[in-house]
Amino acid sequence: MLQGWIQIALILVTVIILTPLLGKYIARVFLHKTTLLDPIFGPIDRAIMRTIGIYEPEGMSGWQYIQAVLVSNIVMGIAVFLILFLQPILPFNPSQVGGLSWDLVLHTTISFLTNTDQQHYSGETTLSYSSQVFALGFLMFTSAATGLAVGIAFIRGLTGRSLGNFYQDLMQSITRILLPISFMGTLVLIAAGIPETWLGAAQVTTLEGATQAIARGPVAHFEMIKQLGENGGGFFGINSAHPFENSNGLTNFIETVAMVVIPASLIYTYGLFMGNLRQAWLVYGIVLVFFIPLVIMTAWGESQGNGQVNTLLGSMAPNLEGKEIRFGWSASSLWAIVTTATMCGAVNAMHDSLMPIGGFSTLLNLFLQIVWGGQGTGTAYLFIFLILAVFLTGLMVGRTPEFLGRKIEKAEVILASVILLIHPIAVLIPTAVTLLLPEDLRGISNPGFHGLSQIVYEYTSAAANNGSGFEGLGDGTLWWNLSASVSMLLGRYVPIVALILLADGMKLKQIVPMTDGTLRTDTGLFTGVTGVVILILGVLTFLPVLVLGPIAEAFQLSSGL
């Protein structure tokens, strides 16, 4: 028991230690200062930029940046759609899997393009190695890099800098950050047991004489960027619970840290851009204040187990339904919270089978979207809440709200509200529509309150660009493929457009000199207010759903019905 808690603490401490190191490196990359990797990647970067016809990268205006994001994403999407659609005639298909329906291809493309990686299929039985590596593996880099670029452009604007050049940011996110770390991580994963082969499934005869097909493939390189880029789309159907995606305690450690290390470090990067590390650590503190209790609650719930089964066993035992022995309750609970906090969405235990308190915590993460948050965008959302807190406190004390020395005015508040409101819109409306559908179209697999949680979880995961699921849900249907695609697109591109416009507007504002009357944002008091604002604005909209789903389920279980 104690060892489980120590393991959780060890992973958290590792992330906190890595935060300033990686945060500083990311800041140097995007401030275009010299870094260790310049001798290798400097010439490559310049060659790539020349290939696309950019000799001196110029800063873009807000709309130029948005147009570059959208056009490049559409190009990627079309390329990947074609690869997936043409799967039957493309090579590297040793298991000879067939074609996919158009709606599944569409859903999968949008899912990986938006960094969601929600999967309505099982990798080993549905996709060829071409589809996995050439289509999805590619989007895992570019979708993460798109998020990172937007996150960086946002802080550049807030601090009065030019937004930068999207193509350069996209490329450098990959060549300087995602690719080098993934490369090193992949080699460790292979050494620790994760396959990297182009051979098809191994056919073996078991000791008892049964024929077993052991799915494998070029998994390790895919796995590493899946975690690091907060993608979360598994090579195999069962994701990181599969021993070939996550073989032991060491791979689990690397994969857990990889999920959270970039969003955690990015807060520090923001601090360096602002020239105010105190502000960054305070924001970091807000995240930890949300994150740590959720981990403890979930781990406690799983370690106490299912009362009904405990009675049968005659003793208290952890809930191991949907869990692997090598991870146990502690590593599984920590992972469940990290993956929903960071919008990674990979799983090493089944969320559908979590105790209600675990279901509550994972859903809460997806509603808030700022407990670390998505690659690049999560940190930006955190600062959106700071801006809203400035606005609200400014109203209370009757001062013009200012953030980082720039006035917060109508346009900023409108854009921040759009970012805040698109989430409940993309979650609750489709949920309501789905609940009105005939029973067999809803796809619910668990009865009662949990069934509602399944539907809400699917849309929340889509809109938050997370991708995990209560996977009992029968989601491989036309309705689910199309409706979840809409939620993913709204949850991705509406906030991106709003973030860039907001940053673009802030960039041009006159700096207001700091006086005694200025409301300081780097104080404990203001940070506390921000935390409350996050709770009120972020959770209140979703409270009825939480009550009807996991909270009601918890009461149901404890009353033994």
Partner 1 sequence: MNIAQDLFKSIRIVAVLWILTAVLYPLLTWGIGQTLFSNQANGSLVLNAEGKPIGSTLIGQPFKSDRYFWSRPSTIEYGTLPEVAKTGASGASNLAPSNPALFDRIKPEAQRLRQANIKPTPDMLYTSGSGLDPHISLESAQAQIPRLSQARGMEPSRLQELINQAIDDRILWILGEPGVNVLKLNLSLDQK
Beta bridge partners of 212: 204
Q: Which stretch binds partner 1 (CB under 8 A): 89-97, 370-378, 423-431, 455-463?
A: 89-97
Per CB under 8 A, does 220 bind partner 1? Answer: yes
Integer Cα distance of 520 and 510 in angstroms = 18
Nearer to partner 1, 226 or 406 (CB): 226
Least distance in Å: CB of 50 to partner 1?
Answer: 10
Contacts with partner 1, 225-264, as mask; x by CB under 8 A:
x----------xxx--xxxx--xxxx-xx-----------
Per CB under 8 A, does 10 bind partner 1? Answer: yes
Integer Cα distance of 189 and 314 in angstroms = 40
Per CB under 8 A, does 458 bind partner 1? Answer: no
Neighbours of 2 (CB within 10 A): 6
Least distance in Å: CB of 401 to partner 1?
Answer: 34
Neighbours of 147 (CB within 10 A): 29
Q: Which stretch binds partner 1 (CB under 8 A): 267-275, 341-349, 408-416, 505-513?
A: 341-349
Per CB under 8 A, does 546 bind partner 1? Answer: no
Per CB under 8 A, does 183 bind partner 1? Answer: yes
Contact set for partner 1, span 120-159 (CB under 8 A): 122, 124-125, 133-135, 137-138, 140-142
Q: Buried b / exposed e across 253-268, counting CB within 10 Å, b at 16+?
A: bbbbbbbbbbbbbbbb
Smallest CA-to-CA distance from 26 within 143, 180, 139 is with 180
Nearer to partner 1, 159 or 353 (CB): 353
Burial of 314 (0-12, 13-18, 19+ CB in 10 A): exposed
Per CB under 8 A, does 517 bind partner 1? Answer: no
Amino acid at 55: Y
On the CB side of 222, CA atoms within 13 Å amount to: 32
Integer Cα distance of 190 and 442 in angstroms = 40
Total residues in contact with partner 1, by rule CB under 8 A: 129
Per CB under 8 A, does 75 bind partner 1? Answer: yes
Integer Cα distance of 34 and 41 in angstroms = 11
Least distance in Å: CB of 264 to partner 1?
Answer: 20
Contact set for partner 1, span 46-65 (CB under 8 A): 48, 51-54, 60, 64
Least distance in Å: CB of 379 to partner 1?
Answer: 23
Nearer to partner 1, 412 or 553 (CB): 553
Per CB under 8 A, does 442 bind partner 1? Answer: no
Contact set for partner 1, span 396-435 (CB under 8 A): none
Cβ atoms of 97 and 125 closer than 8 Å: yes
Q: Buried b / exposed e across 504-536, counting CB within 10 Å, b at 16+?
A: bbbbebeeeeeeeeebebbeeebbebbbebbee
Selected from 13, 16, 36, 214, the binder of partner 1 by CB under 8 A is: 214
Nearer to partner 1, 307 or 394 (CB): 307
Amino acid at 85: F
